[in-house]
Amino acid sequence: MIVLDTDIEQCRAYCYRCMRVESMCLCDAFPCCDNRTEIHVLQHDRERRHAFGTVRLLKIGLEGLVVHRMPADSGAEFPKPAGFPDDAGVLYPGPGSLDLAHLSPDQRPKKLVVIDGTWSQAHRMYRDSPWLQRLPRYALHPVEPSRYRIRKEPRQECLSTLESTAMALRLIEPETVGVENLLHTFERMVDRQLVCIEENAAGKRRMKRSRVRPMRAVPTTLWQEPERIVVVYAESALPRSRREKQNREIAQWCAVRLSDSEQAASKLTFESVVASEAEMPSGFFLQELGWEQGDLDRAEPLASALKRWREFLRPNDVLVGWNKGSANLAREHGFGAEVVVLKEVYRNTVVGNFGTLEDVVQREKLEPGLGVAMAGRARKRLANARAAAHYLGLWARERLELE
């Protein structure tokens, strides 16, 4: 959780795992099921932006879960996503679908595809995906209506993505612990949301206020998928001469994930002191960066740093940095072709000049913190950039709630 002061009348704490306000968050109550059946979710692009989508809850509750994001409807065939398994079965009702409840253990699928979207979106994704139609089909026959009373299902037998996945896992691997508790926690979340809706309906109507739409001012990933955000910071070595500024060498590359849901700090942060091809000054240069001689002694070749960096990154990670300097160094030295510049994003949210990153931290009353050691001033600057990224995500979420 993170609480930041904003320019709206009431500051609220948000959970960046389920993207809900703290009062609605039940992340700590969600059991983590060690399912052996791989669950692959094909998620429609519009569904991933829905405030009441259940896939983000599945990501908290299931170990073996992979989400493949599908594009919005284009009228053409849906492309097969990278890493999609060819030896899976798809959960989709209709003629020819096998009832999961009537299969023997050796007939049950080892990998299961679940389609996430409205009923019409799911129908189009299946209809326009020949590669999906070639997979064996499985069906559920629920005896109770969906518990997801926040959203209306087209028919009584239709279930939410979380309910469908949990019901399928109960049939495929009934001995797995935690699946039933996953449904119970999900129902508690629905009950809380319904109470909140009723309380809001009984209260005063909100005053309409001028605002910037968050999807225009702030990149969607920053406020909707913080688990994909990696905040980066780079230091460069002094050039051989003042005339060679365009050829500055990278001296340090460090990063931290925006979401701190990982347990191990090694999975949250990255740092490399990169050995320079030229002789690096030892006096003013070290003093300016806040380094000690020992920091230079542990420098590694650029190729080694890049290898470790690729092992640290995940396929769908999005890199963000405060200024263009880090973005340029990342592009020139192979750390990332695209880096979102947070300074430009922040400019969309304010009027007038705002100064340096340190000025922004003071202006917005942010409280940066980074519980790992890094060489020199990079630790503080990376912590400030991460706090700014947190703030911008919260800024967008708050304004989305006012829509």
pTM equals 0.49
pLDDT at 242: 45
pLDDT band, very low/low/confident/very high, at 230 (cuts 50, 70, 90): very high
Task: Enumerate the domain spans of the chain.
Answer: 19-197, 214-401
Higher pLDDT, 199 or 315: 315
Asked if the model's pLDDT at residue 36 lies above 80, the reply is yes
Closest residue by Cα to residue 381 from 338, 322, 341: 322
| Terminal CA-CA length for the chain | 23
pLDDT band, very low/low/confident/very high, at 247 (cuts 50, 70, 90): low
Asked if the model's pLDDT at residue 34 lies above 60, the reply is yes
The tokens describing 262, both together, are 């990982």
Residue 232 identity: V
pLDDT band, very low/low/confident/very high, at 282 (cuts 50, 70, 90): low
Average pLDDT, the chain: 79
Q: Could you read off the pLDDT of 293-305 as tens digits, one per residue? A: 788 888 899 999 9
Asked if the model's pLDDT at residue 332 lies above 70, the reply is yes
Question: Using CA of residue 233, residue 340, residue 4, residue 23, what is the dihedral sign?
Answer: negative
CA–CA distance, 390 with 384 (Å, rounded to integer): 10
DSSP for 307-343, please give it. HHHHHH--TT-EEEESSHHHHHHHHHHTS-S--EEHH
Q: Where are the alpha helices (DSSP H) in 173-225?
A: 179-202, 214-217, 220-224
pLDDT at 157: 53
**Cβ pair 255, 270 in contact under 8 A:** yes
DSSP 82: T
With H, G, I as helix, E, B as strand and everything else as coil, classify residue 117: coil
pLDDT at 6: 35
Range 214-401 classified under CATH 3.30.2130.10: no
Asked if the model's pLDDT at residue 141 lies above 60, the reply is yes
Asked if the model's pLDDT at residue 377 lies above 80, the reply is yes
pLDDT at 399: 73
Asked if the model's pLDDT at residue 324 lies above 70, the reply is yes
Closest residue by Cα to residue 44 from 105, 96, 99, 117: 117
pLDDT at 299: 87
pLDDT at 115: 93
pLDDT band, very low/low/confident/very high, at 243 (cuts 50, 70, 90): very low
By CB atoms closer than 10 A (0-12, 13-18, 19+), residue 249 is buried
Could you tell me the strand order of the sheet in which 249-257 lies? 269-273, 249-257, 229-237, 318-321, 340-341
Higher pLDDT, 359 or 49: 359
